[in-house]
Structure formats: structure tokens, C-alpha cells
Amino acid sequence: MKRNFGESALVADVDCTADGKPLCDANGVKGYPTLKWGDPDNLEDYDGGRTLKDLVKFSKKNLKPLCSPKNLDICDDEKKAEINKMLALSKEELDKMIEEKEELLENAEALFKEKVDELQKTYEKLQADKEKTEAEIKASGLGMMKSVRAFMDQKTKDEL
């Protein structure tokens, strides 16, 4: 589904499990549903509410032309200077800078996955240890103790 709202906004639905997978991968979509917004060359994550009221409020506030090389006239002085500095670079220099930043992102993702794997192994060991301890405790007579205690309570009630 694709709807244009003038030149300032686009709403699109992409199936990340089919033909849209490369687009989703290129934009860092990792979970579904994921909402993105902003300049198509620099999409931002939407993390607001999902009700119609929330989306309308967000769109009125944010879905408008954004500061970019295409819309330099709406940028503040700091952003204009940053964009002009980048425009002065050669494509090769800019490509190298982009590659360096993307490598940092990939490194962060790799470290995250490594640490999650470590956590998963720790979780599995703790789970196994807990289950072993529970089994040992139950095998040591806990069930019988509870049964005898319940019997004692019932005997007391019967005597009253």
C-alpha cells in the first residue's frame, strides 16, 4: 500500500518477508510491525503510540519537509554548515565516511549478538541448575512434608 500526501509525506506498507526484504534490511527493520518516518534517505524509527489519535498527532507535528540537502532553506545555521561541509567533500571521501560509520554500526550489532548469545548460555545453565535443584528438593521429601502438614491441619480442624 502506498499513499502520497503531497511532496512532504509518504505512507507505505512493505512485506519484509518477500520482495521487500532488501529494503527492510537496508533500513534496519528487525521486528514487525516497524514504523519509519522522515527523509527516505535517512529514515528515523517511530516509537510513539499506535492509536489513530497518536499517529495523527505525530504526523501533524513531524510529517513536513525536513532539513536536508534538498531543503537547505529550512535548516538552521548549524545544520546548513554541516550539510555544506559534507557537500564540499568528494563522493569518495563521503563514501569512506559512510563506510566507517556503517562499520561501527555493524560492530555494535556483532557485539550485541555476541553478548546476547552469552546471556542465553548463562540463562540456559541457570535454568538447568534451578530445575536440578528443584528436583533434588522435591526428591528429598518436600511433597511428603507438605502432605503431613496438611494432614495435621485437617486433624486440628476435626478436633475442634
What pLDDT is stored for residue 41 in this prediction?
A: 77
What pLDDT is stored for residue 10 in this prediction?
A: 62
Helix or strand or coil: residue 36? strand
Neighbours of 109 (CB within 10 A): 12
- Main-chain dihedrals φ then ψ at residue 3, nearest 5 degrees: -130, 135
Q: Where are the domains of the chain?
A: 1-65
**Per-residue model confidence as pLDDT tens for the chain (160 residues):** 444 444 555 667 788 888 888 888 888 888 778 888 877 777 888 888 989 999 889 888 887 788 889 889 999 999 999 999 999 999 999 999 999 999 999 999 999 999 999 999 999 999 999 999 999 999 999 999 999 999 999 988 887 7
What pLDDT is stored for residue 67 in this prediction?
A: 87
| CA nearest to 62, candidates 5, 110, 114, 22 | 5
- CA-only gyration radius of the chain, Å: 29
What pLDDT is stored for residue 21 in this prediction?
A: 84
What pLDDT is stored for residue 11 in this prediction?
A: 67
What pLDDT is stored for residue 6 in this prediction?
A: 46
What pLDDT is stored for residue 114 in this prediction?
A: 97
Whether omega before 69 lies within 30 degrees of 0, making that bond cis, reads no
Helix or strand or coil: residue 1? coil
What pLDDT is stored for residue 60 in this prediction?
A: 86
Q: Which residue has the cell 527523509?
A: 39
Helix extents (H) in the chain: 21-26, 52-62, 77-87, 91-137, 143-159
Residue 135 burial class via C-beta count within 10 angstroms: exposed 0-12, middle 13-18, buried 19 and up: exposed
Separation between Cα atoms, residue 80 and residue 75, nearest integer Å: 6
